[in-house]
Amino acid sequence: MNEKSHLSSQFDDELGRLRSHVLQMGGLVETQISAAIDAYSKGEVASVKHIVETDRKVNDLEIAIDDDCAHLIAKRQPAASDLRLVFGISKIVTDLERAGDEAKKIAKGVRRIYEAGQMPSQYGIGIRHIAEAALVMLRQALDAFARLDAALAVKVIQADVDVDTEFKSIMRQLITHMMEDPRTITTSIDIIWIARAVERIGDHAKNVAEHVVFIVEGRDIRHLPKENKESKE
């Protein structure tokens, strides 16, 4: 990336502000996810309300950042690395916002399970583990964005395979549960929804990482076979 400053210092300020807003938004989504994990494993139903409230801030930031991107394109006509940055950011915020939505789904699922008098962590063994893995993916994707580190982004993309594999094994385990004891079906279905949301968070983190590779290297690596996703720089 380009560390030299623009002839227009205002342009530099605008790009800098845009980047820090994305990181701020990313930070909020991270707290949503980690609060959702806590709610799940410790039964902190109170934090559900907090997650939902944070979601509003996340949505507002998404709109503000998109709006800034549109203004910046109209005013500055960014090219090359600047263009890739603005374009990449406007995609990153979509994935961040959706990752936040998934956290909200987890929180609501947890609340339903507790209200039914159950302990979710008794059923979905392994969920906490992949949820933490997905959170690490998102954190690293945001680090990769902050440092424009394509190699780290590629690692995140590779980690998504593990989350997907674990998700499938959790599904198998829950299905076995339901067959063994049909009374667990209601709770198990809620847990499937939670596992599904976790898996989606991993996907969004992977997307963010792919956008980072595009910003840094100008390669669109979405939909490429795995072996072609290695960082080139």
- Among residues 115, 134, 114, 136, the alpha carbon closest in space to that of 126 is found at 134
Query: And the tokens for 109?
Result: 């699922």
According to DSSP, residue 26 is labeled: H
Rounded distance between C-alpha atoms, residue 57 and residue 205, angstroms: 19
Write down the H helix ranges in 148-184: 150-180
Q: Does 73 bind other proteins (CB under 8 A)?
A: no
CB of 194 closer than 8 Å to CB of 120: yes
Q: Does 27 bind other proteins (CB under 8 A)?
A: no
Query: And the tokens for 205?
Result: 């983190």
Which range, of 3-11, 27-35, 90-98, 164-172, touches other proteins by CB under 8 A? 3-11
Q: Does 8 bind other proteins (CB under 8 A)?
A: yes
Among 185, 218, 224, 230, which residue interacts with other proteins (rule: CB under 8 A)?
218
Among 81, 158, 173, 186, which residue interacts with other proteins (rule: CB under 8 A)?
81
Which range, of 24-32, 81-89, 161-169, 197-205, touches other proteins by CB under 8 A? 81-89
Among 82, 97, 199, 210, which residue interacts with other proteins (rule: CB under 8 A)?
82
User: How many CB atoms lie under 10 A from the CB of residue 227?
Assistant: 6
Task: Choose between 7 and 225: whose C-beta lies nearer to other proteins.
Answer: 7
# residues near other proteins by CB under 8 A: 18
Query: And the tokens for 108?
Result: 């609501």
Which range, of 32-40, 49-57, 74-82, 105-113, touches other proteins by CB under 8 A? 74-82
Write down the H helix ranges in 43-119: 46-76, 80-115
Q: Does 9 bind other proteins (CB under 8 A)?
A: no
Among 159, 204, 217, 221, which residue interacts with other proteins (rule: CB under 8 A)?
217
For the chain, helix (H) and strand (E) counts, in that order, are 7, 0
Q: Does 4 bind other proteins (CB under 8 A)?
A: yes
Among 78, 120, 124, 202, which residue interacts with other proteins (rule: CB under 8 A)?
78
What is the C-alpha end-to-end distance of the chain, expressed in Å? Answer: 11
Contact residues: other proteins, CB under 8 A: 2, 4-8, 11, 77-84, 217-219
